[in-house]
């Protein structure tokens, strides 16, 4: 059902690309969180044996990529394309990691929406027969993000109540028409939405309107409703952002019930004191590529809507007084 004759934002994948391999790697704090037992690799230190946090973040991408390729029972030579992005300026974590692998590479930037962006593009390119096997990857690191976007780590700055904690985490999925695994059946491509939030410590509120927009268009385009999914999971709206999304959706006539949750809200335990919860590309990427895909494979969930959300700001745009635009892309993942 397509109200108001808007052009559709959702595409359907007739050949049903499969996620034939997946891997997650997180930092020690994330490992001590709610999903600790599900992650493939928990680092002992945020530096991961490197000299800088930036190099640690890069090594996390490499580790996730190698791990996912291994789980797919392939070798790096079998990967026909790498789609990756991250939060650092000029997405250096992804580009420098791609340097270590002999595979074509397309860099993406969707802030924390990158996991869904890469899966949506990757599923299209695999479904259309343009590439045989595509790796989709993203990463974030608390220490690199904090010092790039906010304050030097050494400052020990106090965090406002609405702030979220950038997850030190990476995830990678391998897509192919051959092999076995959960299938990506649809993708909804989001629009940039800006409701005028200027507080860079309130990303949840900045991203919630974009999440609402993509979610409503997904339900309209596919003639579905929230109850049609075993789980609707957003990326990193956090506690406040996900509550705002529930309110916004209610205004649009959709009730998000107990089948709705948010990776940012769920990642850490309450006693870990991360205020509104986790954020960062790696938050939803690591939970998707561990807990969520495992629960789809074992039949707990038959059909989920995975929607990663991103805040498209930079320090320059903030300093020049611009508000924070958000974006959200969604993919439907089903049991094979």
Would you tell me which residues interact with a copy of itself (CB under 8 A)?
A: 7-9, 11, 51-52, 54-55, 77-78, 80-81, 85, 87-92, 95-96, 98-99, 102-111, 117, 120-121, 124-125, 127-132, 148, 189-194, 312-317, 320, 322, 325, 327, 329
Q: Who contacts 282 (Cβ-Cβ below 8 Å, separation ≥6)?
A: 26, 60, 138, 139, 140, 141, 167, 168, 169, 170, 171
**Gap between the Cα atoms of 9 and 261, Å rounded:** 23
Min dist CB 243 to a copy of itself, Å, is 24
Q: Nearest approach, Cβ of 248 to a copy of itself (angstroms)?
A: 18
The residue among 11 and 216 lying less far from a copy of itself, judged by its C-beta, is 11
Nearest to 335 by CA among 185, 227, 187, 126: 185
HEC string of 12-34 equals ECCCCCEEEEEEEEECHHHHCCC
Q: How far is CA 196 from CA 70, 102, 162, 266, 315, in A?
A: 44, 43, 16, 27, 16
Asked whether the beta carbons of 74 and 174 are under 8 A apart, the reply is yes
Separation between Cα atoms, residue 32 and residue 50, nearest integer Å: 22
Which CB atom, from 124 or from 272, has the smaller least distance to a copy of itself?
A: 124
Length of the chain: 336
Q: Rounded to the nearest whole angstrom, what is the least distance from the CB of residue 168 to a copy of itself in the complex?
A: 17
d(CA 109, CA 331): 17
* Closest distance of CB 3 from a copy of itself, Å: 14
Q: Output 61 or 296, the one with its CB closest to a copy of itself.
A: 61
Residue 95 vs 224, nearer CB to a copy of itself: 95
Minimum Å gap between C-beta 288 and a copy of itself is: 19
Q: How far is the CB of 213 from a copy of itself (least distance, A)?
A: 10
Distance CA(335)–CA(308), nearest Å, equals 20
As a whole number of angstroms, the distance between CA 215 and CA 221 comes to 10
Residue owning tokens 């209610």: 250
Which C-beta is closer to a copy of itself: that of 224 or that of 323?
A: 323
Nearest distance, CB of residue 55 and a copy of itself, angstroms? 7
Locate tokens 């919630």: which residue? 208
Question: Quick one: 133 or 163, whose CB is closer to a copy of itself?
Answer: 133
* Smallest gap from residue 97 Cβ to a copy of itself (A): 9
CB of 259 to a copy of itself, least distance (A): 25
Asked if residue 142 lies in contact with residue 165, where contact means CB atoms within 8 angstroms, the answer is yes
Residue 3 vs 270, nearer CB to a copy of itself: 3
Q: Which is nearer to a copy of itself, 104 or 257 (CB)?
A: 104
- Judged by beta carbon, residue 42 or residue 92, the one nearer a copy of itself is 92
Alpha-carbon torsion (180, 107, 28, 275), positive or negative:
negative
């Amino acid at each position: 059902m397509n109200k108001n004759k808007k052009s559709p934002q959702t595409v359907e994948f007739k050949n049903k690309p499969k996620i034939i391999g997946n891997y997650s790697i997180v930092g020690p704090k994330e490992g001590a969180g709610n999903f600790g037992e599900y992650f493939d690799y928990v680092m002992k230190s945020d530096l991961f044996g490197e000299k800088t946090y930036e190099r640690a973040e890069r090594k996390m991408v490499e580790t996730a990529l190698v791990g996912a390729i291994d789980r797919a029972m392939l070798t790096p030579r079998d990967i026909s394309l790498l789609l990756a992005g991250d939060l650092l300026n000029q997405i250096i974590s992804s580009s420098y990691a791609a340097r270590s692998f002999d595979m074509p590479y397309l860099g993406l930037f969707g802030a924390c929406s990158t996991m869904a962006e890469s899966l949506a593009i990757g599923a299209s390119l695999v479904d259309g027969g343009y590439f045989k096997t595509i790796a989709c990857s993203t990463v974030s690191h608390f220490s690199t993000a904090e010092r790039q976007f906010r304050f030097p780590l050494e400052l020990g700055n106090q965090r406002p109540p609405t702030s979220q904690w950038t997850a030190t985490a990476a995830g990678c999925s391998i897509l192919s028409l051959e092999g076995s695994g959960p299938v990506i059946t649809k993708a909804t491509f989001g629009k940039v939405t800006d409701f005028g939030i200027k507080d860079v410590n309130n990303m949840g509120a900045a991203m919630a309107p974009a999440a609402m927009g993509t979610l409503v268009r997904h339900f309209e385009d596919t003639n579905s409703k929230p109850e049609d999914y075993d789980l609707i999971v957003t990326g990193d709206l956090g506690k406040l952002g996900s509550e705002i999304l529930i309110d916004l959706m209610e205004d649009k006539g959709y009730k998000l019930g107990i089948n709705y949750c948010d990776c940012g809200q769920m990642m850490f335990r309450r006693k870990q004191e991360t205020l509104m919860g986790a954020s960062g590309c790696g938050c939803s990427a690591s939970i998707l590529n561990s807990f969520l895909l495992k629960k789809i494979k074992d039949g707990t969930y038959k059909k989920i809507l995975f929607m990663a959300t991103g805040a498209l700001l930079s320090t320059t745009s903030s300093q020049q007084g611009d508000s924070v635009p958000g974006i959200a892309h969604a993919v439907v993942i089903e049991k094979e």
